[in-house]
Structure 1
Amino acid sequence: MPGGRLTQQERRQIASGLADGLAYAEIARGLDRPTSTITREVTRNGGPTAYRADLAHRATEQRTHRRRQASPRGAAEPPQAYGRDAEAVRQYEETLTTVFIQSGTPQMMARVLAALFISDTGSLTAAELVQRLQVSPASISKAIAFLDEQGLVRRERDDRRRERYIIDADVWYESMMASARGTAQLADTARQGVGVLKSGTPAATRLENAARFLDFISETITRAAGQAREVLHTKPDPGPDA
């Protein structure tokens, strides 16, 4: 399987495949590339309806140029903790960011969220995020404000009075509970329509069935999240040499 960066010709094949309505997996097979590579490429360059091969290629070159400017030739990268492979970590961070974007998180917010998730401390300062993501402080501030409003991060001051942004173990639980509340609200709205459209009519029956379905889903998510919450607080296995 070929490695390295996508070529301009490969990007044109991606654009052609999207225009033909091909799935990411099918495009990936044609290029002998992982599906995640195609997904990440399309998502970060406008999505399936706005993807343009030449623009995507130019944007990638610009990102590469910015990274080279940020890391002058000869400057050593800081070693990864626990002997991790730096390139593998970088690629995984991009994959995680792509998944967040696909789930509806705006791009910059997804990048900040991924950076926090893969940090061992689960916390970073604004300056650390600016350096890590090579973006402006204003971009970080806007992303944090969004994530804070969604309950995905919290802020606190460290012993040097710097504001740190922290992602808690319970973030998945809170996310599931927010989803359950949203689903329950949708169920309530569907139920309101039953009376408006007259119970027993085709439209009212459709809404009533939807409300029952959504109630079940909301209750199931709430119950399962509560039962599984303690899993999020499982401590790392120290291993036999600890």
Structure 2
Amino acid sequence: MPGGRLTDEDRRDIAVGLTRGLGYAEIARRLGRPTSTVTREVGRNGGPRDYRADRAHRATLRRARRRKSATHHEPPAAVGAEGRDPVAVLAFAEEFAGLMVRMGLPRMAARVLASLVTTDAGALTAAELVGRLRVSPASVSKAVGYLEGLELLHRERDARRRERYSIDDDMWLRTWLTSARTNAMLAETAERGVEVFDHATPVGARLDRMRRFFAQLADDMSGGPSTDVVAVLGALVRTVTPEGADRLAAELDWPPDRVAEALRDAEQVMR
């Protein structure tokens, strides 16, 4: 029935449809299900590239067992360590991780990031991640290293000298700026290629189209500031005095350390 649970056969049909390149809406139509059901099923089980019917079925059984355990053993007033339904939190974390996988993150890195995003503190120790994700410490370490390279998290030591991995509110901005700088570098490289091959040649024309595309993309992502604006901002960043930084912190109601870090990031962007 359209409103019932997905069966093992439904999941095999979903896997076949994904292999054939069918969209979620078409797969849902063939199953007689809402498109949202197929979207949610695929998103929480690895995304369109990694979806496997047998693995999705086992994951569903595990979630059902956890849900049953929570129903029978948790008192109604305590639905989670942070006051939330643990089943709903887990489902959202899986959905978030699936989205990150579709955007290009490795599966384990996506799961680590989802765990941090869905934790109030935005920070977890390696042991806590191993326990939550039920994977080896080596898997967590590799995923953390990957995310650290993208500047999506950073390491710190807690009072017990344990290494903690944390995210902050500025991580998406840093990722955006990094992408903008990467696009600008691609445009500059393509421009040098045009000079080497000559604009009139097929290779030169192709590289020039590449140059224009990435230059426009970099401008759009960075807001497209003029050269004069960039120069002025760069000069302001370099000439901010300690007293000026303190006034800026007071104006923004930020801690001084956050202002100092923002100024350093801005100086990197202006280079």
Deviation track 1:176-197 (CA, whole Å, cap 9, x = no partner) reads 1111121112112221221232
- 1:218 CA drift (Å): 0.7
Can you give the 5+ residue segments of structure 1 that lack an aligned partner in the other structure?
227-232, 236-242
**1:107 aligns to 2:107 (yes or no):** yes
Can you give the 5+ residue segments of structure 2 that lack an aligned partner in the other structure?
231-251, 255-271
Q: 3-state SS of the aligned residue for 2:223?
A: helix
Deviation track 1:48-72 (CA, whole Å, cap 9, x = no partner) reads 4x7553x4356537x729x76xx79
Paired amino acid for 2:59: T
Q: State the match for 1:37 in structure 2.
A: 40
CA distance in 2, matches of 1:219, 1:108: 32
Q: State the match for 1:239 in structure 2.
A: none
Seq. identity, %: 42
Aligned pairs for 1:1-242 within 5 A: 2=3, 4=5, 6-31=6-31, 32-33=33-34, 34=36, 35-40=38-43, 43=46, 47-48=48-49, 52-53=52-53, 55-56=54-55, 59-60=58-59, 64=62, 76=74, 79-80=79-80, 83-223=83-223
CA distance in 2, matches of 1:129, 1:75: 24
Q: 3-state SS of the aligned residue for 2:165?
A: strand
- 1:150 CA drift (Å): 1.9
RCO comparison, higher one (Cα < 8 Å, 6+): 1
Deviation track 1:114-153 (CA, whole Å, cap 9, x = no partner) reads 0101111110111211121111222111211221122111
Q: Structure 2 length as normaliser, TM-score?
A: 0.69
Closer/same/farther in 2, CA of residues 167 and 57 from structure 1, 3 Å limit:
closer
CA distance in 2, matches of 1:99, 1:57: 16
> How many residues in Structure 1 have an aligned counterpart in Structure 2?
221
Paired amino acid for 2:3: P
CA distance in 2, matches of 1:214, 1:19: 32
Closer/same/farther in 2, CA of residues 81 and 28 from structure 1, 3 Å limit:
farther
Closer/same/farther in 2, CA of residues 81 and 64 from structure 1, 3 Å limit:
closer
CA distance in 1, matches of 2:29, 2:87: 23
Closer/same/farther in 2, CA of residues 126 and 41 from structure 1, 3 Å limit:
closer
CA distance in 2, matches of 1:234, 1:209: 45
CA contact (8 A) 1:27 1:38 kept: no
Q: Per residue, is there more helix in 1 or in 2?
A: 2
Closer/same/farther in 2, CA of residues 103 and 126 from structure 1, 3 Å limit:
same
Deviation track 1:62-97 (CA, whole Å, cap 9, x = no partner) reads x729x76xx799654963366433322221111100
